[in-house]
C-alpha cells in the first residue's frame, strides 16, 4: 500500500516557504492507518521494546496506537510544564531558537528497552533531544520510528549512531 496517497501537502504552512506534510487524511482512513501501525509493529517485533515513547504531540497519536496494538506501555515526552510531578528535562536548540522536553523522572527507572516514535523526522532536533532524554531517564533506546521523513533535511544524521531508524514514507 502506498501511504503517500493519504498525505496532504499544504504549501506555506506554518509560514511561507514551508511545505507541510499533513497526516490528518491518513488518520481519517482506517485502512491506511492500520497499515501504519502494522508496519511499525513489524519493526517492534524485530527490536523487542518494552515501552513505546512518543514525542509531543502527534507522536502521542502514533505511539498510543502502536502501544495498544502491541499490548505495551506508552510514555509521553512533553513540552515544559505539561507533566505533573517530578520530571527530567533536556534543553535543545532548533533552527529557529531553543526549546525543552520533559519526561516523568520515574517513567524509565527500570531501564526498559524503548522504541521512540513520532509522525515526522525533519531536521532531527526534537527527535535527537528525545533520544537523549530517553537515555538520561534510564531507558535503552532500541529504535526510532517515524511515519514521514524529510530526507533532504538530514535529521537522521542527528540521531544516535547504531540505533535502527524506520521511516514509512520518505520524501527526498
Query: Which residues have a catalytic role annotated?
Result: 58, 95
CB 66 within 8 A of CB 122: no
Crossing angle for the helix pair 58-70 and 30-47, to the nearest 10 degrees:
70
Q: How many residues does the chain have?
A: 172
CB 81 within 8 A of CB 113: no
- Range list of β-strands (E), the chain: 8-11, 19-22, 51-55, 73-77, 87-94, 97-104, 113-121, 140-150, 165-171
- Other CB atoms within a 10 A radius of the CB of residue 151 amount to 13
Amino acid at each position: 500500500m502506498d501511504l503517500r496517497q493519504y498525505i496532504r501537502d499544504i504549501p506555506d504552512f506554518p509560514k511561507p516557504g514551508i511545505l507541510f506534510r499533513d497526516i490528518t487524511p491518513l488518520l481519517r482512513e482506517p485502512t491506511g492507518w492500520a497499515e501504519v501501525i502494522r508496519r511499525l509493529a513489524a519493526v517492534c517485533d524485530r527490536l523487542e521494546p518494552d515501552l513505546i515513547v512518543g514525542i509531543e504531540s502527534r507522536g502521542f497519536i502514533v505511539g498510543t496506537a502502536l502501544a495498544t496494538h502491541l499490548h505495551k506501555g506508552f510514555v509521553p515526552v512533553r513540552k515544559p510544564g505539561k507533566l505533573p510531578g517530578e520530571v527530567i528535562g533536556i534543553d535543545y536548540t532548533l533552527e529557529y531558537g531553543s526549546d525543552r522536553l520533559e519526561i516523568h523522572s520515574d517513567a524509565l527507572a527500570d531501564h526498559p528497552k524503548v522504541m521512540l516514535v513520532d509522525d515526522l523526522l525533519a531536521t532531527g532536533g526534537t527527535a535527537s533531544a528525545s533520544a537523549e532524554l530517553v537515555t538520561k531517564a534510564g531507558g535503552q533506546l532500541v529504535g526510532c520510528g517515524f511515519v514521514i521523513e524529510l530526507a533532504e533535511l538530514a535529521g537522521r544524521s542527528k540521531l544516535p549512531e547504531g540505533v535502527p531508524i524506520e521511516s514509512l514514507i520518505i520524501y527526498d
